[in-house]
Amino acid sequence: MTVPMTQALQRKRAENMKVAVKSFDNKDMGEIELSETVFGVEPRRDILARVVNWQLAKRRAGTHKVKLVGEISGTTAKPFRQKGTGRARQGTTRAVQFRGGATAHGPVVRSHAHDLPKKVRRLGLKCALSAKRAEGKLLIIDKVDVSGKTKEIAKQLSTLGLSSTLFIDGTKTSDLLVKAIRNIPKIDVIPSQGANVYDILRRDTLVLTRDAVHQLEERLK
């Protein structure tokens, strides 16, 4: 039997989901209430591991290759006669036991990608976002205002106390922001539709714009 949630408990949970909004100059810009179904999920390490492994497997080129017996150049004649030598019989010097011969059971060109249910992928992204919020490593900014100068944005990042950070912007990432950030190590920026578990977890702090929050909640609701 489901016990109805009291109004006091509902208010308390709503208060816990409120996060302060900062400007890019570290000024207060009010608050935003995050969706509990997206940013309040209990993080599951097993789901995060499955999604990260799925992402990295898809990224692998799979161009590893060794030469099989049929691909080794050389004569097809027997290296010596069948009987009378006291040695084990051999059919070709291209076999795996000879120097310069083929490689046994080596890798071949193939795709390492494997399937992962869409529900698991969605849950993985929710877990990653919720984990950053639970750890206090989620920062919401009103919008990104940059002039395109790396020196200036590096100063602003220092003001915000950011060193290893992933920025997730709205539908389209500002070209000025991309140009200003690409020379700063451990700082990445992607649009909201490119948000993924691996990039979120590999950086210490996650920074979302207001637009990114609304679009992620709409995408994952």
Report the share of the chain in percent with pLDDT over 90: 70
Helices 45-59 and 118-134: crossing angle, nearest 10°? 120
SS3 string, the chain, reads CCCCCCHHHHHHHHHHCEEEEECCCCCEEEEEECCHHHHCCCCCHHHHHHHHHHHHHHHCCCCCCCCCHHHCCCCCCCCCCCCCCCCCCCCCCCCCCCCCCCCCCCCCCCCCCCCCCHHHHHHHHHHHHHHHHHCCCEEEECCCCCCCCHHHHHHHHHHHCCCCEEEECCCCCCHHHHHHHCCCCCEEEECHHHCCHHHHHHCCEEEEEHHHHHHHHHHHC
Angstrom distance (rounded) from CA 71 to CA 121: 41
Residue 142 to residue 130: CA distance in whole angstroms? 20
pLDDT value, residue 103: 95
Residue 39: pLDDT band (50, 70, 90) is very high
In one letter, which amino acid is 124?
G
Q: What's the whole-number mean pLDDT along residues 71-94?
A: 93
Determine the pLDDT at residue 182: 86
pTM, rounded to two decimals: 0.83
Backbone angles phi, psi at 30, to 5 degrees: 95, -155
Superfamily of domain 7-60+115-220 in the CATH hierarchy: Ribosomal protein L4/L1 (3.40.1370.10)
Cα-Cα-Cα-Cα dihedral of 40, 44, 45, 51, to 10°?
Answer: -90
Output the average pLDDT for the chain.
89
52 residue type, one letter? V
pLDDT of 1: 47
- Domain ranges across the chain: 7-60+115-220, 66-106
> What are 144-197's pLDDT values in tens digits?
777 678 888 888 888 888 889 999 988 888 787 888 888 899 999 999 999 999
